[in-house]
Amino acid sequence: MPPTLALFLWLILLVGLLRFDPAKDSGVSLALWVPLIWIFIIGSRLPSQWLGGSVGSAAQALEEGNPLDRTIFSVLIVLAIATLISRSFNWSIFFTRNFVLVLFLFFTLASALWSDFPLVSLKRWFRDLGNYLVILIVLSDPRPLEAVRTLLRRLCYVLVPLSILLIKYFPYLGKQYSEWTGAAEFMGATTSKNMLGVLCLISGIFFFWDTLTRWSDRKIRGTWRIIVVNIAFIAMTLWLLNVAGSATSTVCLVMGCLVVVAAHSEMFRRHPGFLRFLIPAIFCVYLVLAYGFDINGNLAGAVGRDPTLTDRTAIWKLLLTMHTNPLLGTGYESFWLGPRLKLIWQRFGHINESHNGYLEVYLNLGLIGFFLLCGLLISSYRTICKRLTSASSLALLNLALWTIMLFYNMTEAAFKSHLMWVTFLLAAIAVPERAEDRVRGASALDNPGPTERSLRLPLESARQRRWSCVRLPKHPNKLPDHTFDLCEEL
């Protein structure tokens, strides 16, 4: 097939999916296009790279950035702030309920004071602030569950088929060659094979979760169409993941799917406390095996992979010997700049991360930043576990995202402006009370039982995006009492 024809067919497929998607929800806000564009850029390439330019590989270019990228990011940040203001977002409650996250953000901002490149650090901090603002647009939507579903679905609709298109018909855009071995590495619409693996990880988790939570209603015609589309994208995602060859993303995808299945099972629904204990316990056991018995290297060697995890162990040893402030670090996003970057490039080529998220935080923010990050992980986990008790289908996805974030950062660095981090914020941020009540209400309506499904009726005005329940006279012999007040006006 000629590349031009393939591009034309992809455009038709994309327009068809966005226009006639069986899972399309007309009730979600148009403001969701702002976080979609932002996350599309984070998960693929910068605008300057899509337009044929390049930030460059020189250290100076990495420090200066690109005017076009800054302009687009700035416009999106302004739109995000305007959206939140129009919704009368309750900032005081947000700061209270996300105290550890706010403390972490203020510390990263203050770290620019002792950075060797304070201006660069400040620029990157304000750019990365957009990650949190666009996620708040999603979570402050009147129907957050459907907003999350719509956002991730649209993102996958664009990037998954586009990656296949670039790999098969535009290899000069979708493929690169290893600097050391010369072997072909497929990157699709992203910037590296590892980033393509992350895209597949998010896509696989989302479509698996969405299919599982809709499976009980599969006999309904509209739901069955959604499941068919999900299965098609799962197949495309698995093909891309195999092409990318990202071992970390593959393992995390399997792990995330297992978490979704476990949290959805009847046994763990009856005993949610066991699951809340099991995941951190498994991670602690993994830490002992990884650093006490080198399980990562042994497993990699057993399956024919590099026991050094593609020179990661050598990179970690070098980074730990470099002189940084152990308490405060080098400043926000400042480690991979200047003489340090040139020294590392002489040894390991053009890399710009430590391939370990926890080590990356330590290098940039020191032990204080590391412990603040740990506090954020603990507080977000407690928030997710509280939502599990309310039988929220969104909580299943959040738990899977939290788990894979924990393990993914053992061999990759994603605690920064990264597709994994932005997606993780959907689970980590505790929205204000009013919005959280909507999460619970939307989640309960998302998986209604037979009685509840027959009682809810949409209001006449779709613009209100609310649901009301018919309040029936009590008939104890026919219906249990709890069915008469099934939901409240949102």
Divide the 490 residues of the chain into consecutive groups of 10 and give the mean pLDDT of each group.
Answer: 88 90 83 95 90 54 73 95 93 92 96 92 93 94 90 95 94 80 83 92 96 88 90 96 90 93 83 82 86 65 52 81 89 90 81 88 95 95 81 84 94 90 92 51 46 37 37 41 36
Look at residue 290 in the predicted model and tell me its pLDDT.
Answer: 77
The Cβ-side half-sphere exposure at 21, using a 13 Å CA radius, reads 18
Which amino acid is residue 458, in one-letter code? P
Look at residue 486 in the predicted model and tell me its pLDDT.
Answer: 35
Which residues are within 8 A (CB) of 380 and not within 5 positions of it... i.e. 6 or more apart?
A: 402, 427, 428, 429, 430
Look at residue 147 in the predicted model and tell me its pLDDT.
Answer: 92
CA neighbor of 410 nearest in space, from 320, 323, 276, 284: 284
Distance CA(335)–CA(413), nearest Å, equals 13
Look at residue 311 in the predicted model and tell me its pLDDT.
Answer: 66
Question: Do 13 and 158 meet the contact criterion of CB atoms below 8 Å apart?
Answer: no
Look at residue 271 in the predicted model and tell me its pLDDT.
Answer: 76
Which amino acid is residue 181, in one-letter code? T
Distance CA(441)–CA(445), nearest Å, equals 6
Which amino acid is residue 248, in one-letter code? T
Look at residue 342 in the predicted model and tell me its pLDDT.
Answer: 85
